[in-house]
Amino acid sequence: MKKFFVFFLQNNLTSKEDQDLLDLVEEPKIIPWISDDELNHYAIQFQKSGFTGGLNYYRNMGLNWELMAPWMNTGILVPALYIAGDRDCIHSMGGMKEFIHGGDFAKLVPNLKEIVIIPGGHFIQQENNLQKVKLNLLKDNQDFKKTAS
């Protein structure tokens, strides 16, 4: 489980055909933002159910595209924030940074209020005090005060 939680902090991981990506990640001794009890809880749940649910989204990618086709280029029209961790490999992969910061993202999200990159990886909601982050972001933004809870 520890390898899974630090996996998304890695950059440019490429495995050979007979190699598991997690084999490329060194297991940390501790993860400061998640307790051993919490890790054990996740491990027990995954032992019971497997990780099929998480993987099915990717296994079903073709159908997902087909089902979402009617909304292609619709955009996100509600006020929005983009929040990511500065060490999240998803934010850094495959031209994502250029897309987010280069203006194309804002075309799809015309009511984008702010792009916020905070210290952390893929699990910023656990790595940071997100309630504190949220309050700081929302303090001067009337569009979000109505819906923030």
pTM: 0.67
Instruction: Give yes or no for residue 44 having a pLDDT over 80.
Output: yes
Ranges of H-type helices in the chain: 2-7, 36-49, 52-59, 61-68, 89-92, 96-101, 104-108, 124-127, 130-138, 142-145
In the predicted model, what is the mean pLDDT of the chain?
Answer: 80
Query: Residue 80 pairs with which residues in a beta bridge?
Result: 112
pLDDT tens for residues 62-91? 998 999 999 888 889 998 888 888 888 888
Q: Side chain identity at 118, as an amino acid letter?
A: I
* Main-chain phi, psi angles of 121, to 5 degrees: -110, -140
The C-alpha atoms of residue 75 and residue 109 are separated, in whole angstroms, by 6
Instruction: Give yes or no for residue 123 having a pLDDT over 60.
Output: yes
Instruction: Give yes or no for residue 46 having a pLDDT over 60.
Output: yes
